[in-house]
Chains A and B, each alone.
Chain A
Amino acid sequence: MKTLIIEIIDAARLGELYTVSKFFTDTPDLVALGEGDIPSGFGKVFHTDEILGANILNALLDLIKDERYELILLSSSTEGNSIASPLASFLSLPIISEVIGIEKDFIVKKPLYGGKALVTYKIKKTPIIITIRRNSFEREDLKGSSNTIPLELKDKPLELLAEKEEKVEGVPLEEADIIVTGGRGIGAPENFKMLRELADLLKGAVGASRGAVDEGWVPPQMQVGQTGKIVAPNVYFAIGVSGASQHLAGITNAKCVVAINIDEEANIFKRANFGIVSDYRKIVPALIDVLREEGI
């Protein structure tokens, strides 16, 4: 199946999409967006520095028609989402978003109802557009470099006035083996300091639930969940997190969940491997003390 990946130049995202493309093709083509080194492994590689989806759309429409792509793959990210559904609309193509599983015979799976259900689709018609949920597929470690063909853009309805990267301390959430997440139950923004201390000792990252982000305690880039970061750590400490299904959808691939919550009825305990029903202000300092005593 002639396949095109459209993605910003980011090793992790390209690696995940490359893995998915292998279900359908030997060598996918690529439209690479933004700046950076583009790895090898692709067929034709088109490139533009532009990252705003609406500004690339018309060039993509022409390219997809000219090259007769049967499958267009993107990630379910801000950039992928800005392109995938308008592209489907203009080309009248079927689209399946947030895919988390692919099987033979063109069977794909995606979550419904905040991850409480899973729908299975069979692809009946191509061309088709698929977006994949981050961290749901193994990442191919792409190396080398590619020669590129410039992608000529047409009209630009959007102008990028500023891009501000939120400085998040420590390991990026998507890469972390250990994540210490705080929910609304931790009570105040300053209490994240304690979670940061624990995460630092474990060489992990600090996350937050939607509730903590909505309170304005931490930036949205720290949000774990269906509409935040999708993570896959070895150990996920959920501290003061109630366990809404939208949050659990973001930690499906966590190998072990440790829940610390004063409410023994909290839903998070139904997803947890280990649970401590207690005030986290007693348990987290104790964890920090023990880790220090053990010289970790």
Chain B
Amino acid sequence: MNIVVCAKVVPDYEVPASDFELVNGRAHKRFTRMIGLYDENAVEVGVQLKEKYNGNLIIISYGREEDIPILRKAIAMGGDKLIIIIGNSDDPYIISENLKMGIERIGDVDFVLAGRQSADMDRGIVPGILAGMLNYTFVPQVTQIELINGLWKAIQVTEKGIREIKVSKKAVFSITDDPGNIPRIPPVRRILAAKKMPVEKLNEIQVPPMQIEEISVDIPKIEIECEFLSVEDPKEAARALLNRLKEERYL
């Protein structure tokens, strides 16, 4: 069984808005880079499936060559192979076409996992575009996957609850966080072994970008000054807060 996980390296998503800085419309290069928030959940789901069904877990990424050391974390978590397609586009069609190229080189792939959305572009569309290109079924916002009588059953989170879905075709699942797929911390021996693992590097293929024009990227100004209330007496603080909320007609 070949399981592919698409992982993207992004600027530190924990940087507070007040410290955030743009250069040419993208996050400043000074920010630490890390595997995307939900991509790590996707890797964890992949590792759990590999352990349960004795599969082969391949991590594939489109991005910069200097991100390879960061992607090795996914190997330490349990990945068997790392493929990186070297490129620096943000365009979802260019990223998806290149991921497709990498996935097709692997050969027989049972399914593809990806985080529900990257922590930089906030789009959540690459997994679905990739599914279309691969002619796979797309199932978004999945937390768990299991094999039942030869078919995959996925748990999908909706706005109101969950769905259990049986999948009869090859699929791309986009993974969302859940207490059951929080990434486990890899043991030191696996971190060390991951550093030595050879990485397959591929050159990107040239494909046309999507036809939209990016006019500007700005940091929204937050012009709120927090009014701190005294807390010497909790009950007085509570009373003062409720009074202020009423004065400002919020309550």
**Chain A interface (Cβ within 8 Å of chain B)?**
52-54, 76-79, 81-82, 84-90, 94-98, 107, 110-125, 128, 157-166, 178, 202, 210, 213-216, 220-221, 226-227, 229, 234-235, 243-246, 248, 255-259, 267, 269-278, 282-283, 285-287, 289-291, 294
Contacts and interface: CB of A to CB of B under 8 A. Distances in A.
Contacts of A97: 123-125
Contacts of A77: 158-159
A275 B141 contact: no
Given A81-B141, A274-B226, 12 more contacts: A85-B128, A85-B129, A88-B129, A89-B129, A97-B123, A115-B122, A160-B164, A161-B153, A245-B16, A245-B17, A270-B17, A290-B235
Contact of A275 (B27, B121, B212, B226): B226
Contact of A116 (B15, B153, B157, B242): B15
A94 B213 CA distance: 11
B225 to A, nearest CB: 8
B140 A78 contact: yes
A267 to B, nearest CB: 4
A220 B132 contact: no
B128 A161 contact: no
Question: Nearest 3 CB-CB pairs, A to B?
Answer: A89-B132, A85-B128, A216-B179
B227 interface: yes
B122 A214 contact: no
A86 B129 contact: yes
Classify the secondary structure of A's interface with B: mixed
9 contacts: A81-B128, A113-B119, A157-B169, A163-B163, A220-B176, A227-B176, A235-B245, A256-B245, A267-B18
Given A95-B210, A122-B213, A214 B120 contact: no
B140 to A, nearest CB: 5
Contacts of B168: 157-159
B77 interface: no
B238 A112 contact: no
A229 B159 CA distance: 8
Nearest to A278: B231
B188 interface: no
Interface string B230-243: 01001101110110
A257 B227 CA distance: 11
Interface in B96-147: 96, 116-117, 119-133, 137-141, 143
A128 B25 CA distance: 23
A164 B161 contact: yes
Contacts of A113: 11, 13, 20, 27, 119-120, 122
Nearest to B37: A246
A124 B210 CA distance: 10
